[in-house]
Amino acid sequence: MTNVYLAGPFFDDEQIARIERVEAALEQNPQVDNVFSPRKDEIPGLTVGTPEWATQTFQMDVSQIDHADVVVAVSDFVDDQVDSGTAFEIGYAFHSKKPVVLFHEKDTVLNLMLAESLHAYLKTAKDLAEYDFNSLPESHYHGKVF
């Protein structure tokens, strides 16, 4: 069974709806045992935006990436941009030799650093629900990059 770290923005209604679709798809995948989603796994008792919250959230998220088998990252943010926190999580996972499954729902251009660091490229929640997390087949992004 696979432990997944879910990276992705959840700052507005569109982003929250997308991350909820991804969470649901991962829950449907029989090969996924556990999903750590920073959106759902906030540290209780801390005030968002305080230095204590920032330090503890950073430490928890990095620790969860370290313990994950794979990182599923949502690249969709605003226009062709990726959320800076998600970009950090992807880079940290790549450097840590964790496979990155990139979820890119919108038809936007992808940053070359994301395109080159991913292990698998998926477009739909159905793709995630059916992805073989045991064998982790590779698939590449073939669109435009910047």
Q: Which residue numbers are catalytic? A: 89
> Residue 55 has which token pair?
């330090």
Q: Residue 110 has what DSSP assignment?
A: B
What is the distance, to the nearest Å, from the Cα of residue 81 to the centroid of all Cα atoms in its chain?
Answer: 15
Rg value, the chain, Cα: 14
Long-range CB contacts (within 8 A, 24+) of 124-132: 125/21, 125/22, 125/24, 125/25, 126/25, 128/22, 128/25, 128/26, 128/29, 128/72, 128/101, 128/103, 129/25, 129/26, 129/28, 129/29, 130/29, 131/29, 131/31, 131/101, 132/31
> Residue 6 has which token pair?
């879910």
